[in-house]
Amino acid sequence: MTDLNGVVPAIAKALAKRGYSELTPVQKSMLDPALAASDALVSAQTGSGKTVAFGLALAPTLLEGEDRFPPAAEPLALVIAPTRELALQVKRELEWLYEMTGAVIVSCVGGMDIRSERRALERGAHIVVGTPGRLCDHIRRRALNMSVLKAVVLDEADEMLDLGFREDLEFILEASPDDRRTLMFSATVPAAIAKLAKSYQRNAVRIATKAEEKQHIDIEYRALVVAPSDRENAIINVLRYYEATNAIVFCSTRAAVNHLTARFHNRNFNVVALSGELTQNERSHALQAMRDGRARVCIATDVAARGIDLPGLDLVIHADLPTNSDTLLHRSGRTGRAGRKGVSALIVPLNARRKAERLLDNAGISASWGRPPSAEEVSSRDEERLIADPIFHQVPDEDEHELVKRLLAAHGAEKLANAFVSLYRSNQSAPEDLIEISFQDDGNRKRRENTDGPREPSQKGPRDDFGASVWFSVSVGRKQNAEPRWLIPMLCRNGNVTKREIGAIKMQQDETFVEIAADSAGTFLQSIGPNKALERGIRVTQLDGTPDFNRPAASKPYAGKKNFDDRRDDRPKDGYKKTDRRDAAPAHGANDERRDSKPWTKKPGKPKFEGKPGNGGPKPKFPKKKG
């Protein structure tokens, strides 16, 4: 064991017994003599060894130079964790770390018998580990005496605030002695955490370790681009391709968890679900099934998965993209632990690629972009695993040897091999055929990312640096109040393209010319279907070459609304007068369901609006009073 300067001898023996050969960066930082009696605000990622770190930091304060604790009485230290699973995990870690000191460690968590916990507290404890809500209950019922408390640890402080435990944390900290040490450990330090630290810590030492960088060395990030309708099939192929010992699939909602769980059960996967609707008993059974190998895939929401620790978790799949970069790091940090390699795979629908890029950039992560494993790649990987299966290297017992001879004599080697392959594949889900998509490689995409994005109508001429492109004609123009602010989202939504894949937009009187990247033109045509129509009857036509932007406008019928049909005589009908369309509110936005934006309004009789007040239109005109 190295770098043990400052470690209490009894703790050092426990570390050596556990087989520790080197401390992690966050653990080393807690051995700084300057922290011996100071408060600390520590930012370190999930899986960086925080539990051992604050165990090392607490030991000098609690033992006060002794090798063993005196008989247990009132608690000396309090550790607060966001979830039951994490609290119990912390308790197990501290039990072996303080084994040589004679420490009595008690847990107080929701879902357990509160009477048993009260009796344990009455017998005495040196360290109490619990969740905020249950600790508050014990304090209010005077079962937890905080009078001699020397230290309080907040583990995963950011998660506790996210889960709504701010008031509970403030109550616990205010009930503890003013001269206590307060150690806060958090993966991130947002403004809420900084404010909490300022209120309840005294001259806290700020420690930002590089543990997260080391952690992510063992995680391979993959961004897998799929057609939006192929998301579930892609997840199936990823699970089948890696065949991880344990895998977790993250969804954004309970409904998505239930849907994927049912789908994967039907596909012969051994799965369990974790969502907020489960009871504590159901949740415990699900996690135990993952730990003992009865299940290999856990499908969970972000909140339900907080605090869980699954051994051998080699694969994390983001079925729904995380909402922010912190969530991405929290999810991914559950793999790649203790020197094991792990894979974090983001399932990226084609129209959400830009969002995924922002997430990865904000998290400081460089991911390899590509497509999900195809059915052929999964089958090829299965064959490799079959040929390398360790079962072929096992020496048969004497009883089995006789049976092998009988099987060879009865069926022959070829039939036995066929039977073995069939048996091997019978418990596996068949891989899915995925839709072919047009996907740009990183080099081409980086070249295009230096452009200024979609062109506004005021820009002149095609963009020279956009690359190869295909032009399309859209059957709305200035005459129909077409605007890029609703036309671009409509093209992205219906054509499964992103803004980056849209080049110049040239507005004409009755049509609009749109430039689409050549690599995405096939996907665009396939997505809008054989009718070549967008929403509200707007039609799209592919053009040969670059259109002539200076040719006279041709009057074309607009299929979206018959009010804009082509009229040879542009004079208003009897009883109507023509309004200025430039002042009228847009009548054909992607989500515009108004039916009052008509280009013709009746002559005075009753007050009429020529435009919608407050939306760029003129003020209402009222008929003049007679006399």
User: For the residues of 175-238, what is the DSSP string, one character each?
Assistant: HS-TT-EEEEEES---HHHHHHHHHH-SSPEEEE-SHHHHHHHTEEEEEEEE-GGGHHHHHHHH
Q: What mean pLDDT is predicted for residues 90-95?
A: 92
Please list, in sequence order, all residues whose beta carbon lies within 8 angstroms of the beta carbon of residue 72, skipping any fewer than 6 positions away: 104, 123, 124, 125, 126
Q: For position 169, what pLDDT does the model report?
A: 93
Give me the phi and psi of 146, to 5 degrees please.
-105, 10
Q: Of residues 444 and 56, which shows the higher confidence score?
A: 56
- Between 75-79, 125-129, 162-166, 266-270, the lowest mean confidence (pLDDT) is in 162-166
Q: Report residue 392 as tokens.
A: 């072929």
Q: Of residues 1 and 497, which shows the higher confidence score?
A: 497
Q: Of residues 100 and 584, which shows the higher confidence score?
A: 100
Q: For position 560, what pLDDT does the model report?
A: 45
| Neighbour count for residue 439 (Cβ, 10 Å) | 17
Computed over every residue of the chain, the mean pLDDT equals 78
Please list, in sequence order, all residues whose beta carbon lies within 8 angstroms of the beta carbon of residue 188, skipping any fewer than 6 positions away: 43, 158, 326, 329
Give the integer Cα–Cα distance in Å for 501 and 447.
12
pLDDT at 588 over 50: no
pLDDT at 400 over 50: yes
Distances (CA, A) of 602 to 398, 561, 577, 581, 607: 100, 19, 7, 15, 10
Q: Which of the given ranges, 232-236, 303-307, 330-334, 577-581, has the highest pLDDT on average? A: 232-236
Q: For position 554, what pLDDT does the model report?
A: 52
Q: For position 46, what pLDDT does the model report?
A: 64
Q: What mean pLDDT is predicted for residues 374-382?
A: 89
Please list, in sequence order, all residues whose beta carbon lies within 8 angstroms of the beta carbon of residue 160, skipping any fewer than 6 positions away: 80, 81, 82, 132, 154, 166, 169
Is 24 in contact with 53 (CB distance < 8 Å)? yes
Give the integer Cα–Cα distance in Å for 556 and 544.
19
pLDDT at 182 over 80: yes
**Angle, vertex CA 473, rays to CA 469 and CA 474, nearest 5:** 125
Task: Read off the pLDDT of residues 209-250 as tens digits, 9 standing for 90 and up.
Answer: 654 444 456 789 999 999 888 899 999 999 999 988 889 999
Task: Read off the pLDDT of residues 239-283 as tens digits, 9 standing for 90 and up.
Answer: 999 988 889 999 988 889 999 999 898 888 889 998 877 777 788
What band does 307 get if pLDDT is binned at 50, 70 and 90? low
Give the integer Cα–Cα distance in Å for 46 and 158.
12
Is 221 in contact with 359 (CB distance < 8 Å)? no
Is 438 in contact with 351 (CB distance < 8 Å)? no
In 3D space, the residue among 597, 601, 596 whose CA is nearest the CA of residue 576 turns out to be: 601
Q: For position 305, what pLDDT does the model report?
A: 73
Task: Read off the pLDDT of residues 34-58 as tens digits, 9 standing for 90 and up.
Answer: 787 889 888 876 667 788 889 998 9
Q: For position 448, what pLDDT does the model report?
A: 42
Q: Report residue 150 as tokens.
A: 């020397």
Q: What mean pLDDT is predicted for residues 528-539?
A: 80
Backbone dihedral region of 244: left (phi > 0), alpha (psi from -120 to 50 degrees) or beta?
Answer: beta
Q: For position 414, what pLDDT does the model report?
A: 84
Strand, coil or helix: 124: coil
Question: Using CB atoms within 10 A of its CB, is residue 76 exposed (0-12), middle (13-18) or buried (19+)?
Answer: buried
Residues of the chain with CATH 3.40.50.300: 9-213, 218-379
* Residue appearing with tokens 């107080």: 108
The CATH code for residues 9-213 is 3.40.50.300
* Single pTM value for the model: 0.55
In 3D space, the residue among 50, 77, 85, 45 whose CA is nearest the CA of residue 155 turns out to be: 50
Q: For position 605, what pLDDT does the model report?
A: 53
Strands 469-474 and 540-542: antiparallel
In percent, how much of the chain has pLDDT > 70? 78
Q: What mean pLDDT is predicted for residues 55-83?
A: 90
Task: Read off the pLDDT of residues 2-21 as tens digits, 9 standing for 90 and up.
Answer: 456 668 888 888 888 887 77
What band does 431 get if pLDDT is binned at 50, 70 and 90? confident
Cα distance between the two ends of the chain = 105
Task: Read off the pLDDT of residues 459-496 as tens digits, 9 standing for 90 and up.
Answer: 434 444 566 888 999 998 888 888 888 888 888 888 88
Please list, in sequence order, all residues whose beta carbon lies within 8 angstroms of the beta carbon of residue 128, skipping any fewer than 6 positions away: 75, 77, 78, 79, 105, 106, 107, 108, 121, 135, 144
The CATH code for residues 218-379 is 3.40.50.300
What band does 582 get if pLDDT is binned at 50, 70 and 90? very low
Give the integer Cα–Cα distance in Å for 331 and 302.
8
Is 39 in contact with 128 (CB distance < 8 Å)? no
Q: For position 37, what pLDDT does the model report?
A: 80
Q: Which of the given ranges, 396-400, 429-433, 453-457, has the highest pLDDT on average? A: 429-433
What band does 528 get if pLDDT is binned at 50, 70 and 90? confident
Is 83 in contact with 307 (CB distance < 8 Å)? yes
pLDDT at 346 over 50: yes
What is the Cβ-side half-sphere exposure of residue 251, based on CA atoms within 13 angstroms?
Answer: 19
Task: Read off the pLDDT of residues 102-159 as tens digits, 9 standing for 90 and up.
Answer: 999 999 998 788 999 999 999 999 999 999 999 999 999 999 999 999 999 998 888 7
Give the integer Cα–Cα distance in Å for 438 and 78.
56
Beta-bridge mates of residue 249: 299, 317
Give the integer Cα–Cα distance in Å for 290 and 274.
11
Q: Which helix (H) or strand (E) holds 39?
A: none
pLDDT at 457 over 70: no
